[in-house]
Amino acid sequence: MAVLMAVVLAPQCVASEQLRERIEALQAGYAAAAGGEPLIATRALGDFYEARGYTRAWIRPELQDAWMNVLEGIASDGLAPRDYHAEALARLLEDDGASLAPESQADLDLLLSDSFLLLASHLLDGKVNPETADPEWKADRHERELYKMLAQALDSGNLVATVDALRPSQGGYLALRSAHSRLAAMANMAWPPIPDGPSLRVGDSDERLSAIRQRLRLLGDLDAPEAGEPVADNYDALLESAMKSFQRRHGLEDDGIIGPATLAMVNLTPAQRLEMVDLNMERWRWLPDTLGPRYILVNIAAFELEVVQDGQVVLEKPVIVGQPYRRTPVFSDQIRYLVFNPTWTVPAKLIVQDKLPQILQDPGYLERLGFQVYQGWGTDRRRVAPAGVDWTRVSARNLPYQLVQAPGPQNALGQVKFMFPNKYDVYLHDTPSRELFAKKARTFSSGCIRLKDPLELAELLLKGKAGWDDARIRSVLASRATTTVLLDHPMPIHLQYWTAWVDGSGTLQFRSDVYGRDPAVLAALHKARTPGTAAQ
């Protein structure tokens, strides 16, 4: 019996020795591979195997099978199984894993562990680090000791439950995950571009309308035809209604006219839509574990603000965001106070780039719009007359002045601003240029977010605060005195950039990538990881 046990245990001992040698090489800083593939989560692998005395972790076949099933399903998260050694693992598991040579057993164990640690890090924090691709994007990182989670999952056998707990649990993410599954079924469908031509209106006849009608049915905007109903080449009222719905969920003018912009969205293939869903799921993985029971969400790409309470949208407003060359950044913070009748101190960059050309062209510009000019800063600054400044000598290198706009109907910040102090100097505020809210694409600001009907948000935030009913707000506004009000309970605010999402009615929405942020994320999602880049 002793001889038999020695024969059985010998391969296990050899496999453990193989594990020890490779992990020690990793810890010494050398690259290591298993099954012909590089190991990625190098530090976490070292911690995991060192903690278990370099013994194999994946001996039980049911654990191996469970993990392969997990990898088969992760495409619904917009992630590729090949990034987690799925093909190499399948090759090693073609035969009974227990019959593998000791070196291959070590390969199998290392690849399974690396696969778990890598996928866990991607579900938890995203595959892409947004801050390396976009300096205007601040992500929330989640601190977890993933090697301990792996040990617990293997001990309990609950690999699937562990993975489910790692992916975002918010309804927005899960809805996109369902949308991925629906679009994936169409991804390989032939979708030849419908050619350009004259804009189409109700009553028109055009051979392209048959293809357009079919596309809207496939995308769910138009009901399937009744039995025996002919496919018409004329633009009827039923198609117009479906087209308006399609336009609304793509952020287009819902006039029913099929022009170039609408046709471009109709020509967006299921595979392209799938990529948009995938990269926006990735953006969800950059968010905090919870947005809060009550919060403000600004979708920059959709030019919309929502106030959400207990999962329900209680206020929805259009917003104006930064111009493409002054993009509104992405981050989460808290609104801590409001300022009624705010003054506006013009940032130095805007003085030179925006205001100086107007001052030189129109000497009365500053006085007419209520700007005061100060020389110097802080307590030493002194007010000077605009006419006494030689504006031709002012430049980015020679700017000893401040411009401060007094409260009033022409103040650039309007009647109220909502402050969440941040390094970008971005906040929400009113605007006197209210006509711009009628535009569909609203990229007009210098980075801050202008809000339509901001007093509704102010009233909502101050509801229940002693002494701040609607009458008090109106009285303060009428006084034109700058008044700061601290919130008793700061309101979480999340500035996000989603070009695909599922709204509260279950409709999959798409928007144009107005800042050109999508390609970098998509390229990074498709890029293979290199050793040491996984969350540890």
Catalytic residue numbers, as ranges: 429, 448
Tell me the three state secondary structure of residue 253.
coil
- Residue 29's region, left for phi above 0, alpha for psi from -120 to 50, else beta, is left
Q: Are 529 and 115 in contact (CB under 8 A)?
A: no
DSSP string, 5-40: HHHHHHHHHHHHHHHHHHHHHHHTT---EETTEE--
Q: How many CA atoms lie within 13 A of 194 on its CB side?
A: 26
How far lies 510's CA from each of 116, 227, 254, 438, 507, in Å?
A: 32, 31, 14, 20, 10
Query: Encoding tokens for residue 169?
Result: 């649990």
Tell me the three state secondary structure of residue 9.
helix
Phi, psi torsion values for 513, nearest 5 degrees: -85, 80
Residue at token pair 């994007």: 137
In whole angstroms, give the CA distance from residue 312 to residue 470. Answer: 24
Three state DSSP letters for 493-531: EEEECCCEEECCCCCEEECCCCCCCHHHHHHHHHCCCCC
What is the dihedral sign for C-alpha 505, 506, 512, 513?
positive
Query: Encoding tokens for residue 143?
Result: 């601190």
Tell me the three state secondary structure of residue 273.
helix
- In 99-196, which ranges are continuous DSSP H helix? 102-125, 130-133, 146-156, 159-166, 171-184
Q: Are 234 and 252 in contact (CB under 8 A)?
A: no
